[in-house]
């Protein structure tokens, strides 16, 4: 039986009719009708109470439909990296199902590091199939908040520091998800750039920075991807919580951008009856208190958009049109997802999902350093990576089988656990140690030492490991290093509280658990040291010059070990590029100079005093040299950029074209980046960054192959937000167009004159 027939039969039974009835099917149950026709017909059949019931939770992760009419409930679950394990109906504890394991896909920072729109589409398609198979209608993600600070404990869930990169990656992700009839609930709208005081902090930001930095990815999701729902954030803007902020939700999101979906509160983000009713919130989830009722006395019927809202409607304090508009938005979401006859049945833990996971991981790993090392039998020094069988053999100092020592807790630790709401229960995880053993166990004697210990992943507190234990682990690693021909250190961050985890920011820019000291000591013993780090944020590297190679892996998901081993061994050529700037010192980040008021805030007020100069816009414009710039990433091959040329399509559109050639000995991918800035000497009404990312293209090239690359530019890309007119403005005059391999590595430039 087709899904359409099943839906129709179920709905008829729900209406009290038998399967043999000849009664005309209500329009809202007709799968051939448009979504808008079904919504309006459903509203005509519903009571006031039934409309109100649509607007708030009925369990931790579901909201009610209309059982009397056969209108289904909405089933939601956390993403954005995989479908979360099933929880109990009315508790945060696991339901202990045995069939709810999933594929953990790479973190969204890893996806951003691919700079590949096609990978984002693949990601959305694969993850939505798993959500659909589990009976979920809304994926709570993706996240697209800007990484303003490297201390943000939740930055690993987001897409980097640049609004254009975030927008270009989030749109195909959403399209891939929603093509399968699963809705995205994009988060966290807006300005959720820190976890410290996230429930109460009031973000003070200029109108220009809001429009140029913090809103573009959300706007693209609405206007280009047609996202079906959006989640409001906990923090305040203009003194009002964002989950029911009239200026943000009704003003910008709905009226200005034309968003027609449901605005969903973050869990426990609604705090006021009147604002919840009037401030643009459509579906209230997770509320646990309202200031008067607590514990078992507080029920779902006591939510702000439950009895209190219904009472205001019935008493005439609020118009019925307001209730209808909220119900209309939730119904629209239901008919697009739970009652979408084209929704896929999905599948779980399929081999093509694991392949998608691995390929995204491989493409997101960033090679940051690859120095030349001496090896026996070679006249010239060679880069340490890729670590091929031949190169590994040449590193054996005493002849015979080389001895490979792998050090670090992250070589064996599950990085799909912890992190808060993005924690996943997986069917299989390939650890880095397992992946490396698969490649090298027949080529070398592999030894492992843990080196340090971080404790258990706990949501809201740190599990401290004693000094005696840490000292013992370090000494064991250092002793084993004395006999090793090659060292691979695998560490970085994890998803513990105060690392990369919801509900708490990092406490230091350094790597924790004594890793800096351990890496430095290992390098003194054996300079042939490859450092592999995981994590969603930049970090300090005082040991960098002592190491031979450095790979940053973000979080790679279920296929972490396989993806890493394929890059290390050279089976795959690294092509990841940084979606964030790595500063040399924490003090180099733009907001730090403004003190605690700029982060993490004072008296629950935080001020974005760096304005639009976030990430590379600051480093580039202010002349602050980063450790690794935005857009940076090495390869095992090399690329030559030809001279760029400018083609005018019309008064408002241009193309920048150039040839890119693979000049190395192996296949590789290169991301060509287009930045735009005012030409030197041109006056501007406002201070502008030296250059800003506007487009990028990733190309795959065989050795010696040349491809023609076309980058696109429009008049909108030249605009800034004018606070006087409250709109975008394009200045006349000359603009410099930069073709680059990173924000610092400019390969060519052109001048565009805008009359």
Q: What is the pLDDT of residues 363-385, one digit of tens each?
A: 999 999 999 887 665 667 889 99
Residue 20 has pLDDT above 50, yes or no: no
Residue 117 CB contacts under 8 Å (≥ 6 apart), including other chains: 168, 169, 171, 172
Say if residue 412 is in the same domain as residue 543: yes
pLDDT at 298: 81
Instruction: Indicate the number of domains in the chain.
Output: 2
Is 246 an active-site residue? no
Say if residue 649 is in the same domain as residue 722: yes
pLDDT at 12: 47
* Euclidean distance between CA atoms 5 and 94, whole angstroms: 34
Here the CATH number for the domain that contains residue 747 is 2.60.40.10
pLDDT at 13: 46
* Euclidean distance between CA atoms 372 and 382, whole angstroms: 5
Q: Cα dist. 407→454, 487, 510, 513 in Å?
A: 14, 7, 19, 14
In a domain, 738, yes or no: yes
pLDDT at 437: 98
In a domain, 144, yes or no: no
Say if residue 567 is in the same domain as residue 693: no
Angle CA(155)–CA(161)–CA(167) in degrees, nearest 5? 100
pLDDT at 122: 98
* Euclidean distance between CA atoms 315 and 310, whole angstroms: 8
Of 554, 579, 604, which closes a domain?
Answer: 579
CB-based contact 197:600 (threshold 8 Å): yes
Here the CATH number for the domain that contains residue 558 is 3.40.50.1700
Q: Cα dist. 413→359, 410, 534, 539 in Å?
A: 21, 5, 11, 20
Residue 401: CB atoms within 10 A of its CB come to: 14
Residue 217 has pLDDT above 70, yes or no: yes
Say if residue 647 is in the same domain as residue 555: no
Q: What is the pLDDT of residues 243-274, one digit of tens each?
A: 999 999 999 999 999 999 999 999 999 999 99
Terminal C-alpha separation, the chain: 63
Q: How confident is the model at residue 294 (pLDDT cuts 50, 70, 90)?
A: low
Say if residue 571 is in the same domain as residue 696: no
Of 579, 599, 622, which closes a domain?
Answer: 579
In a domain, 321, yes or no: no
Q: Considering the chain, what percentage of its residues have pLDDT values greater than 90?
A: 92
Q: How confident is the model at residue 471 (pLDDT cuts 50, 70, 90)?
A: very high
pLDDT at 289: 63
In a domain, 186, yes or no: no
Say if residue 648 is in the same domain as residue 573: no
Residue 666 has pLDDT above 50, yes or no: yes
Alpha helices in 240-365 (DSSP H): 246, 273-278, 307-314, 320-336, 351-364
In a domain, 248, yes or no: no
pLDDT at 379: 62
pTM of this prediction? 0.96
**Domain membership of residue 549 as a residue range:** 357-579
Q: Considering the chain, what percentage of its residues have pLDDT values greater than 70?
A: 95
Residue 448: CB atoms within 10 A of its CB come to: 19
Across the range 326-341, mean pLDDT stands at 98
Say if residue 501 is in the same domain as residue 649: no
Residue 192 has pLDDT above 60, yes or no: yes
Say if residue 430 is in the same domain as residue 533: yes
3-state secondary structure of 338: coil
Burial of 322 from C-beta contacts in 10 A (0-12 / 13-18 / 19+): middle
Q: What is the pLDDT of residues 49-84, one digit of tens each?
A: 999 999 999 999 999 999 999 999 999 999 899 999
Of 301, 246, 302, residue with least CA distance to 277: 246
Say if residue 474 is in the same domain as residue 562: yes
In a domain, 459, yes or no: yes
CB-based contact 310:324 (threshold 8 Å): no
In a domain, 168, yes or no: no
pLDDT at 288: 83
Across the range 381-400, mean pLDDT stands at 88
CB-based contact 677:692 (threshold 8 Å): yes
Please identify which of the residues 162, 266, 620, 717 carries the catalytic annotation: 266
Residue 37 has pLDDT above 90, yes or no: yes
Residue 112 has pLDDT above 50, yes or no: yes
Q: Hey, what are 718's tokens?
A: 């030249």
Paired with 489 in beta bridges are: 407, 531
pLDDT at 312: 98
Of 579, 607, 623, which closes a domain?
Answer: 579
Residue 15 has pLDDT above 90, yes or no: no
Residue 21 has pLDDT above 50, yes or no: no
Say if residue 394 is in the same domain as residue 500: yes
Task: Using the Cα atoms of residue 58, residue 232, residue 121 and residue 104 in order, give the sign of their dihedral.
Answer: negative
Backbone angles phi, psi at 155, to 5 degrees: -65, -25
User: Strand locations in 501-582, DSSP E?
Assistant: 529-534, 549-552
Say if residue 575 is in the same domain as residue 669: no
Residue 386 has pLDDT above 90, yes or no: yes
Residue 68: CB atoms within 10 A of its CB come to: 13
Q: How confident is the model at residue 292 (pLDDT cuts 50, 70, 90)?
A: low
Q: Cα dist. 606→144, 205, 261, 545, 643 in Å?
A: 20, 9, 30, 36, 45
Residue 570 has pLDDT above 50, yes or no: yes
Across the range 8-12, mean pLDDT stands at 49
Say if residue 575 is in the same domain as residue 647: no
In a domain, 14, yes or no: no
Across the range 651-659, mean pLDDT stands at 97
């Amino acid at each position: 039986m087709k899904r359409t027939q099943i839906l129709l039969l179920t709905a008829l039974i729900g209406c009290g009719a038998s399967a043999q009835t000849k009664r005309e099917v209500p329009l809202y149950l007709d799968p051939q009708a448009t979504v808008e026709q079904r919504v309006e017909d459903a509203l005509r059949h519903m009571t006031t109470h039934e409309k109100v019931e649509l607007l708030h939770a009925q369990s931790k992760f579901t909201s009610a439909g209309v059982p009397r009419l056969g209108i289904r409930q909405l089933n939601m679950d956390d993403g954005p990296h995989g479908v979360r394990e099933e929880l109990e109906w009315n508790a945060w504890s696991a339901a202990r199902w045995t069939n709810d394991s999933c594929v953990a896909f790479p973190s969204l920072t890893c996806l951003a590091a691919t700079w590949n729109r096609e990978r984002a589409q693949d990601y959305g398609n694969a993850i939505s199939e798993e959500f659909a198979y589990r009976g979920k209608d809304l994926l709570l993600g993706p996240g697209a908040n800007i990484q303003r600070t490297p201390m943000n404990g939740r930055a690993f869930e987001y897409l980097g520091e640049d609004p254009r990169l975030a927008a270009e990656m989030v749109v195909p992700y959403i399209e891939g998800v929603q093509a399968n009839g699963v809705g995205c609930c994009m988060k966290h709208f807006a300005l959720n750039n820190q976890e410290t005081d996230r429930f109460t902090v009031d973000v003070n930001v200029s109108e220009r920075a809001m429009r140029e930095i913090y809103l573009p990815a959300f706007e693209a999701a609405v206007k280009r991807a047609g996202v079906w729902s959006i989640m409001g954030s906990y923090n305040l803007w203009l003194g009002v919580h964002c989950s029911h902020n009239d200026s943000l939700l009704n003003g910008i999101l709905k009226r200005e951008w034309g968003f027609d979906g449901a605005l969903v509160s973050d869990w426990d983000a609604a705090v006021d009856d009147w604002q919840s009713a009037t401030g643009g919130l459509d579906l209230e989830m997770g509320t646990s208190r309202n200031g008067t009722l607590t514990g078992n006395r507080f029920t779902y019927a006591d939510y702000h958009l439950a009895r209190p809202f219904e009472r205001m409607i019935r008493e005439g304090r609020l118009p019925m049109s307001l209730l209808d508009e909220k119900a209309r938005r939730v119904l629209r979401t239901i008919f697009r997802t739970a009652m979408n006859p084209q929704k896929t049945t999905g599948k779980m833990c399929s081999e093509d999902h694991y392949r998608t996971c691995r390929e995204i991981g491989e493409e997101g790993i960033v090679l940051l350093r690859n120095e030349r090392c001496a090896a026996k039998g070679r006249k010239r020094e060679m880069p340490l990576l890729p670590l091929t069988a031949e190169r590994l053999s040449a590193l054996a100092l005493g002849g015979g089988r080389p001895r490979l020592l792998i050090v670090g807790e992250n070589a064996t630790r599950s990085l799909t656990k912890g992190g808060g709401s993005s924690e996943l229960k997986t069917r299989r995880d390939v650890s880095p140690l397992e992946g490396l053993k698969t490649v090298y166990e027949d080529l070398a004697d592999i030894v492992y030492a843990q080196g340090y210990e971080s404790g258990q992943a706990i949501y809201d507190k740190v599990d401290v490991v004693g000094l005696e234990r840490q000292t013992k682990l370090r000494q064991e690693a250092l002793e084993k290093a004395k006999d090793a021909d090659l060292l691979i250190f695998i560490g970085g961050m994890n998803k513990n509280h105060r690392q990369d985890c919801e509900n708490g920011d990092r406490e230091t820019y350094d790597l924790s658990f004594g890793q800096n000291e351990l890496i430095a000591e290992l390098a003194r013993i054996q300079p042939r040291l490859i450092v592999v780090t995981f994590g969603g944020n930049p970090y300090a590297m005082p040991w960098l010059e002592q190491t031979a190679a450095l790979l940053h892996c973000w979080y790679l998901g279920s296929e972490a070990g396989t993806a890493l081993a394929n890059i290390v061994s050279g089976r795959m050529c690294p092509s990841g590029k940084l979606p964030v700037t790595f500063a040399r010192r924490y003090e180099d980040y733009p907001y730090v100079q403004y003190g605690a008021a700029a982060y993490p805030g004072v008296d629950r007020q935080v001020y974005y005093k760096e304005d639009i100069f976030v990430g590379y816009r600051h480093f580039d414009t202010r002349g602050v040299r980063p450790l690794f710039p935005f857009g940076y990433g090495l390869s095992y091959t090399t690329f030559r950029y030809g001279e760029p040329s400018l083609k005018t399509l019309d008064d408002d559109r241009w193309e920048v074209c150039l040839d890119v050639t693979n000049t190395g000995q192996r296949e590789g991918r290169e991301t060509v980046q287009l930045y735009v800035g005012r030409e030197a000497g041109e006056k501007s009404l406002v201070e502008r960054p030296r250059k800003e990312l506007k487009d990028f293209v990733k190309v795959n090239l065989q050795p010696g192959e040349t491809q023609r690359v076309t980058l696109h530019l429009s008049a909108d890309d030249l605009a800034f937000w004018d606070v006087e007119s409250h709109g975008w403005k394009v200045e006349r005059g000359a603009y410099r167009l930069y073709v680059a391999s990173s924000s610092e590595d400019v390969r060519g430039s052109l001048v565009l004159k805008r009359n």
